[in-house]
Structure 1
Amino acid sequence: MPIYEFRCTKCGHIREFIMTGSDREIDMKCEECGGDDLERVMSSVNYAMGSSGSSSGRDSSPSATTRTCAPGKSCTTLKLPGHTK
């Protein structure tokens, strides 16, 4: 079951919603102020992979690159260690 995070545009509170495959309706309102204008946000995650050293000369550390993708908006690209094609 995916978990999505939404930020209230009125007060800034972030709330998680669990989305199931059922037809059950979800009350998409801010639990702090009751606002119903929510925007989806990128969830932060924690993970651990392999050892802390580098293998075969490849960088095994995650990195993030942030850029401006629209006026007043930023986009972040995550580079995660592991196999690439």
Structure 2
Amino acid sequence: MPPASITRLKGLLRRLLRVSTIDGRVFLGTFVGTDDSLNVILISTEEFVINQGEGPTGRFVGQVMIPWRLVVAVEAQGSDADSDNDALYT
């Protein structure tokens, strides 16, 4: 039986995630996995830059690997019946 953390991570596969990074960018894409370093891998991804005093500017970036050391928060769209909070890491 895999640990609960692995089961929860597998439950996020193919779900839309919003990943915020330390440099103020936000990535919105479909979660397809991680690697040994826990870097987040997204496909069909859009990148948004949040500018002070301006609206966010975005662009399509496709497939991305976001280094875990840059991640500030990860949120999943919608909610699971067994989850009381969509925020995974803050």
TM-score by structure 2 length? Answer: 0.27
Structure with the bigger RCO (C-alpha within 8 Å, sep 6+) is 2
- Specify the structure having the higher radius of gyration (Cα): 1
Structure ranking higher in helix proportion: 2
TM-score by structure 1 length? Answer: 0.28
